[in-house]
Copies of this chain bind each other. A is one copy, B any other.
């Protein structure tokens, strides 16, 4: 398929755009001549990169869904398949490290389709000069996380780049899992009336990294919430119900946080979201750290939390199941899907106002995962 130029972009001033020609293939019209950190933020700039550069080249019905994992029909099996690169800095932080994050992150992308995670691959890009001791710590951490999550590393690769051409260690993990036939979870399935559930406190991962990076100290240490959520999802799917199909969407609010993830679901499902600020759990230490750094916890990354969109009659029952699980103890119903303002996320604030939660534009916290 040739690279296409999205029609709506043609209006923008030509002199601000890049559009040379290479080979027989015109470049897409694109806001930047160079990649900036914000293109990796998970926010608007990342979407632009995906929509203008990757999708036109690679478009197919599976990829175009833009879920966090691909669902593949192979033989009589529905396979979930997902990949993520991890470039977090620093590589060790309170509550985890880049290895633990790589395992849990990929397990979670599988789990968000309702899949049972089975196998992982790991590709390492090491910088010349990396301490072998640090590599061993990361590898041991990956081993422990994989064992906890019941997944196996079955293949891998190692490359080494020159000093100053990498940053200690980058890890790309790819996962394979199996989705049962009666499970049908996708961001596009949110519908008006559905409850929006959140599995626990927000912002812990992002603020753990930031406080480590900035050398901030708080009365109680903020630790990453980095954890595998597949078992919590299995518990949710096992909620007694007359219909098996009450769990419409699942997504883990990583880069871009709860606000960005809910915007993705709103966009994919052409529905609106209405949140209640007071119902969203935030630790006091995280709220304090966010205030000091001028950040909004709704946009801060999580690595062990999920958002679920559930049929209205099942909201309370699913919530009760979540609260019985160690990773869902602080779960809450934080809002509902609405027919008004499709594609938008609004929030009733504590003082009674209404605020639009837009997608983050660029980069709030670079290299958080």
Pick from A23, A36, A46, A154 the residue with the most CB of B within 10 Å.
A154
A40 partner residues in chain B, CB cutoff 8 A: 126, 158-161
Nearest-CB residue, chain B, relative to A155: B70
CA of A84 to CA of B159, assembled, Å:
9
* A170 close to B (CB within 8 Å): yes
Q: Is the CB of A146 within 8 A of B75?
A: no
A129-137, A193-201, A225-233, A269-277 - the one binding chain B: A129-137
* A221 close to B (CB within 8 Å): no
Select A174's contact among B34, B118, B174, beta carbons within 8 Å.
Answer: B174
Select A165's contact among B22, B28, B70, B166, beta carbons within 8 Å.
Answer: B166
CA of A124 to CA of B166, assembled, Å:
13
* A51 close to B (CB within 8 Å): no
Select A72's contact among B41, B46, B119, B158, beta carbons within 8 Å.
Answer: B119
CA of A203 to CA of B97, assembled, Å:
40
* A57 close to B (CB within 8 Å): yes
* A140 close to B (CB within 8 Å): yes
* A293 close to B (CB within 8 Å): no
A58-66, A183-191, A299-307, A345-353 - the one binding chain B: A58-66
| Known pairs A57-B142, A121-B83; A50 contacts B136 (CB<8 A) | no
Q: Is the CB of B57 within 8 A of A140?
A: yes
| Known pairs A39-B126, A143-B57, A160-B35; A176 contacts B72 (CB<8 A) | yes
* A263 close to B (CB within 8 Å): no
* A366 close to B (CB within 8 Å): yes
CA of A14 to CA of B59, assembled, Å:
55
A37 partner residues in chain B, CB cutoff 8 A: 128, 160, 162
Interface size class of chain A, counting residues whose CB lies under 8 Å from the partner chain: 35 or more
CA of A28 to CA of B133, assembled, Å:
9
Q: Is the CB of A34 within 8 A of B119?
A: no
A18 partner residues in chain B, CB cutoff 8 A: 132-133
* A247 close to B (CB within 8 Å): no
Contact string against B for A residues 40-81, beta-carbon threshold 8 Å, 1 for contact and 0 otherwise: 110000100110011001101011000001101011110101
Task: Show 22 residue pairs from A and B whose CB-CB distance is below 8 angstroms, ordered by the A residue.
Answer: A1-B147, A3-B143, A22-B140, A25-B140, A35-B135, A35-B160, A37-B160, A53-B135, A53-B136, A57-B142, A57-B143, A58-B152, A62-B152, A63-B152, A63-B156, A70-B119, A75-B76, A75-B178, A79-B176, A83-B121, A160-B366, A161-B367
Kindly list the 6 A-B residue pairs having the minimum CB-CB distance in the complex, ordered from nearest: A40-B160, A75-B77, A70-B154, A172-B172, A83-B121, A174-B174
Contacts beyond the supplied A70-B154, A72-B154, A161-B167: 12 A-B pairs with Cβ under 8 Å: A3-B143, A33-B132, A35-B127, A35-B128, A53-B136, A62-B152, A83-B172, A87-B161, A123-B172, A159-B367, A161-B367, A172-B172
